[in-house]
A and B are shown apart, each in its own frame.
Chain A
Amino acid sequence: MNSWEKRAAADQAVTRLVRIAQEASIDDLSSSEEDGLLRFEAAVAEQRVRRRGPSKKTWGLRAAAFAAAAAMAAASVVFFTSHRSSVQAFEVANGSVSSGGYIRPTAPEGARVRFAGGTEVLLESGARTRVAEVYAHGARILLEEGKARLHVKPLVGAKWLVDAGPYTILVTGTVFDVAWTGAEESLDLWLREGSVVLTGPLTTQGFVVRAGQHLVARVRENLLLLDGQPSEDFRIRSSDIVGDAPTPELIAPAPAGAAKVARPTEGRTASAGAGDDTRAHSWAKRLATGDFDGILADADRRGLEGLLSKAPRAELGMLADAARYARRFDVARRALLAERERFAGSAQASEAAFFLGGLAESDASSVPSALEWYERYLAESPQGTYASQALGRKLMIVHRLRGREAAKPLALAYLNQYPKGPYARYAKNLLETNAIK
């Protein structure tokens, strides 16, 4: 082969290699790449919070707390088990760890998991946790049952995820407590520092929870509440955690107003009485600050009937939201039905069907009607924002009302469409149980 032929062959080879390279890089994102959206949203949320005005950290106190914690840790006699991965190691004190990363506290005061980067997790006695994935800087922790406190060290490029039931908590640098009760399908999240993004049922778009807030999610009740209720102390020494010494701001009892905002049924009277102060605010601002009762009081003043028949679409939507969050289900139902009737064919009307399903589920006698609403939503918006949730809820209702066999096709359909969706585990369990039988 002469030099010209060699050059031509090399030209052809490169052309072919370019094609191989094109074929090798597919457009689909891997599951971890898809998780990147949550990371990005959390980073954006953090950035926006910083832009609004960063809170001054008392680094001196934190350093002192770190020194104290280090000294106490050095003085204490603990049993360490080391579980090493190719990426990052973590140690478990007062607990056992299986090769699969399954951690079980062995001491009554709970266990402590410490990662190489400085992130620590305290587990209450009885908590069932698994370190599902370990990344270069971060990990995915499954909280199957019980309560955990995490102190996540902020590191550039770190990714920390906590799965609790159908919820995923995307963590940046922060301290928080999280509790999941599987039997009640109930999540409690207390933010002590920083912020996290929560996704799952009712929060598919991601929900930012910030320092001092306590979020309650009750999947069965279709309920999501925020308040300032502090978390109870852990039995294991919390001083083991760097920066755990709570600031006065965090350990102070929640102000009455904050608690009332978060517990609408308790605070309705007080919020309504504060009408003069809040009148100037729009409903949107009131919604953003959790003043649902103020919105409802305003609606009562203006005449609920008139609003339902004449209010603009956005206002009607806000009324429905406020009523749902304040658990005024009668008002919420009427507002949602009005949305469907007056704005039929719109996306909002379609979403109203989903929310009506949720409201129907809150009343045991209306569960069949919830199923109808979810089916209606799925028929109207098969790719809608709440489609995965609607299908998941439909799956659960069918399972409950008609049994496993009837639910099996739905479980398959759910896993096919949303293999990592919030109800995927439920669907898999249902199918697996079926297979055994």
Chain B
Amino acid sequence: MREARLFLVQGGIPQEVDDATLVHKLIDQHPHAARLIWQRFAPMVHRILRRSLGPDEDVEDLAQEVFMCVFQKASTLREPQALKAFVITVTAFTVRGELRRRWSRRWLRRQRPETVPGQLVSNQDIESREALRRFYLILDRVGIQDRTAFVLRFIEGMPLEEVAVALDVSVATAKRRLSRAWDRVVLLAERDTALVDYISSLQRDGACA
């Protein structure tokens, strides 16, 4: 029989510890390091996942994938102070993997993206929800790489350089993808007259102010 052991919770890590120290603590297997990394980045990771896949998507499992990957790969970080950028990169790659899986599933079922399941998490009006649903249907028809770039730059509001790092491409390539993605989204939006009319009505009513 295995000897009974008591695993005591050791002293915590200060919340304000910098990213580099946090990475070192994680490598040293400090019992609180994983928790602190989760607490620090979970809102951001969940937000990027939701913005990438749709705000009502269940992103919990994907978030677990992201954090497990960060946990496993943290020791390979050449610049531990760049932990946040690393987490964003892992999140972006996870998003791309998930979009690929979804695309494969749709292709196998010979289905076009039709619906965005579930209800929205925010307190938006019905029209906004419908607009958002149509918007994510449009994004479903944009290439995976371009879509990820679009979400990070325009919805997440990341600087171009950070988008390039997250996608592991040059700034020029990132810029090209963004331009292509924007044009594609605008083109598809233009074809959705109901969507454009709705947005125009919002602007007429001053709702965009």
Contact = CB atoms under 8 A, between A and B. Distances in A.
Contact of B47 (A17, A25, A205): A25
A7 B186 CA distance: 7
A contacts with B: majority SS: helix
Interface stretch (B77-85, B95-103, B106-114, B200-208): B200-208
B122 A24 contact: yes
Interface string A145-179: 00000000000010000000000000000000000
- Looking at B12, B61, B131, the one whose CB has the most chain A CB atoms below 10 A away is B61
Contacts of B196: 6, 9-10, 13
Contact of B61 (A12, A44, A157): A157
A20 B128 CA distance: 7
Contact of A48 (B2, B29, B136): B29
Contacts of B61: 157
B131 A20 contact: yes
A254 interface: yes
Interface residues of B, number: 59
Contacts of A18: 154-155
B21 to A, nearest CB: 17
Contacts of A214: 4
Interface stretch (B36-44, B86-94, B158-166): B36-44
Given A17-B131, A254-B4, A290-B6, A6 B208 contact: no
A256 B208 CA distance: 73
Contact of B199 (A17, A40, A157, A206): A17
Nearest to A284: B10
A109 to B, nearest CB: 28
B40 to A, nearest CB: 11
26 contacts: A10-B186, A14-B182, A14-B186, A17-B135, A17-B195, A20-B128, A21-B155, A24-B55, A24-B121, A25-B47, A26-B121, A26-B122, A27-B43, A33-B46, A33-B59, A36-B60, A36-B63, A41-B34, A44-B34, A44-B71, A206-B9, A226-B4, A253-B1, A254-B4, A255-B1, A289-B3
Interface of A: 6-7, 9-14, 16-30, 32-33, 36-37, 39-41, 43-44, 47-48, 157, 203, 205-208, 210-214, 226-228, 249-250, 252-255, 257-259, 261-262, 287-290, 314, 317, 321, 325, 348, 385
Interface of B: 1-9, 11-12, 29, 31-32, 34-35, 38-39, 42-43, 46-47, 50-51, 55, 59-61, 63-64, 67-68, 71-72, 120-122, 124, 128, 131-132, 135-136, 154-155, 157, 182, 185-187, 189-190, 195-196, 199-200, 202-203, 208
